[in-house]
A and B are shown apart, each in its own frame.
Chain A
């Protein structure tokens, strides 16, 4: 099943600040299932906007199975070219400048049968430049600085989201390690006790009178 998430371009709260407030920020975690490709669409308004983001594969099924080999990630521009791609990772950051405006497609591909949950964050950041300043007389140079400041804060937030997702994944691993330690150790004790009891019973049987005369 292909799920596509399409983004509509922004509604602006105020005309005066419209050029400054193009921050599209969200993080989503998709569970990409059996041989599936999950795509997210993001609309980029201006060419040259910086698209940044990160994604982390949050492994849920790690108690019995070994570590998942990772998923593939591709970014396709509206023209159909692959702008960015990562293969077989369990999480990474990315950043690039949009070569053109339009609908960008961010796809995750899981080539293995275990379903995975991917937690990702995509941010399209726009800073008004001199061209925009010339066009709109309401825009002050200070607005450019404020936009830069906002973008910087966005990158801090993005980093925090990445850390949070990685922390969640790390926590999963640790919890599973703890459970495994207890489970396998107690299991080992029980198996040991059972095996030795069986040994004793077997040896006793070898010497029991009903069987004894012919055997030992």
Chain B
């Protein structure tokens, strides 16, 4: 994980957040990468913008950055070149770690820019404003709907954890079996090597008429 520019890998797993924007700082010439573990066929929405250091004036050139969102296999889902804000939305075709990398351009003297970033997946990516209605009872219904979705996602997560635990057990069992065979094999190799040595030296000395 060591590059000349320090890369901070941020893995975000957002869950059911109305407000999940975060801010981070990038220094000139440096890179920051944020990655998110997304399940297959999950909807995901992201938004980024550079906080304007000068109020009222357009964002200076030194505060524009390059963005790239890529899948765990390297496919590019979104790029932004020399921009100060943008957004992306896509449905994840592969499950895994999706990375959003931000490059800050070189600038002398080195400046630090604050980037506001928001990345929502799954339940949080659903556009609740369309579902919501006015009125007290509807608000409550809306809230309970969200809670229901949360419970569903908790349920799914439990299945995922159970699967992973099973895989882990399988892995451990095979490692155990491998160790047994290898240990046994090790003794065999040792004995056979010793036997070969002895046999070879014996025949060698017999040939040399020393034995």
Contacts and interface: CB of A to CB of B under 8 A. Distances in A.
B104 to A, nearest CB: 11
A135 interface: no
Contacts of B95: none
Interface residues of B, number: 74
Contact of B178 (A163, A178, A207): A178
A82 interface: no
B179 A181 contact: yes
B40 interface: no
Chain A interface: which size bin? 35 or more
A167 B34 CA distance: 21
B136 interface: yes
Interface stretch (B58-66, B74-82, B153-161): B153-161
Given A25-B17, A30-B8, A178-B175, A7 B22 contact: yes
Interface in A1-35: 1-14, 16-17, 20-31, 33-34
A174 B175 contact: yes
Contacts, number: 200
A175 B201 contact: no
A177 interface: yes
A198 to B, nearest CB: 11
Contact of A175 (B12, B171, B210): B171
A6 B22 contact: yes
Nearest to B20: A26
A171 B11 contact: no
Contact of B23 (A6, A60, A189, A199): A6
A87 interface: no
A185 to B, nearest CB: 4
A119 B136 CA distance: 39
B201 A3 contact: no
B140 A142 contact: yes
Given A10-B18, A24-B17, A185 B186 contact: yes
B14 A27 contact: yes
A182 interface: yes
A16 B18 contact: no
B108 interface: no
Given A23-B16, A28-B12, A167 B168 contact: yes
B11 A24 contact: no
A174 B171 CA distance: 7
A62 interface: no
A128 B45 CA distance: 30
Interface stretch (A46-54, A70-78, A94-102, A148-156): A148-156
A160 B154 contact: yes
Interface string B122-153: 00000011001010100110111001001101
A200 B201 contact: yes
A6 B140 contact: no
B147 A149 contact: yes
Interface in B79-131: 114, 116, 128-129
A134 interface: no
B94 to A, nearest CB: 18
29 contacts: A3-B25, A4-B25, A5-B22, A6-B24, A8-B23, A8-B116, A10-B19, A13-B18, A14-B132, A16-B139, A23-B18, A28-B10, A29-B12, A31-B9, A40-B22, A143-B143, A146-B140, A146-B143, A149-B147, A150-B143, A154-B16, A164-B164, A178-B175, A182-B182, A185-B186, A193-B189, A196-B194, A200-B201, A207-B204
Given A16-B139, A140-B136, 4 more contacts: A23-B19, A31-B1, A146-B140, A185-B182
Q: Which 7 A-B pairs have the closest CB atoms?
A: A6-B23, A10-B19, A29-B11, A185-B182, A27-B13, A5-B24, A115-B1
